[in-house]
Amino acid sequence: MVAPSDLFDLEGLGFADIFSGLEEVWEVLDRIKDYTAEAVLNAGCTGAILRGGGEVLPRTVVLHGARVFDSDFQLLGGDPTKSQMRVRLNGEEVSDAAVVFAGAVFMDDLVHISPGAVVEPGALLKGPTYIGPGTEVRQGAYLRGGCLVGAGCVVGHTTEMKNSIMLDGAKAGHFAYLGDSVLGREVNLGAGTKLANLKIIERPYHIKVEDTVFHVARRKFGAILGDGCETGCNSVTNPGTVMGQRCLVAPCQNVPAGWHKPKSIVR
């Protein structure tokens, strides 16, 4: 009921092995940082060539193949999450170039930007952070490290993320907070959604699933949302929330901690 395969379609998922051998899905929270660091090192540390160390990127650059272009390109526009972002390099149009706009900040080298991704001005990224292909990191986003982001995702305007996973197609488009959390495929967080991750009083989390009670002894535990879940604007999940696939949360709701079975509606 709360195994990773119960909440997520792992078939063909690039990060599926991070869940390997886990009986309860929240165990993955302890793996995120090390797994992300290894993924970045294996893929290549883009941050190393983008002034990693806290300097503001002085001009827009395009990443294509093993090269960084700071001239001789034209941005043609398009939605990167739909593989429609087009760039003309030396007169040839390509669809697999990443674009990092002037004003982005890479605090260290341990960041990877995949082909087709876009990082907008004012975004700040700390390692280890992996940005998947076709993902959009919008203006003012704050990625604090331990951020494993899949393909076609949106880390939105002034959205903060730390020690969290976004599986393919997940979107946190506006003013969201993701701490010690996992968003399944095609999850959509309405504007202002906060996934609270810290109890005021330090006590274990107790998650009851049918007749079984799981006791989770960890300090920080945000929300784990199965594939296809959606939250309305300005909703807040309490620490230790686990939602099955395709749950819906109405706007301005305070979502109780614990287990919510698939297709639940919180209103």
Catalytic positions, please?
174
Which residues, listed in sequence order, are joined to residue 87 by a DSSP beta bridge?
75, 94
For 20, counting Cβ atoms within 10 Å of its Cβ (0-12 exposed, 13-18 middle, 19+ buried), the class is exposed
First to last CA, the chain: 23
Which 3 state secondary structure label does DSSP give 165? strand
Q: What is the dihedral of CA 11, 218, 183, 80, to 10 degrees?
A: -100
CB 63 within 8 A of CB 100: yes
For the four alpha carbons of 39, 9, 31 and 190, in that order, the dihedral sign comes to positive
Which DSSP helix (H) or strand (E) runs through 178?
strand 177-179
Phi/psi for 200 (5° steps) reads -65, -40
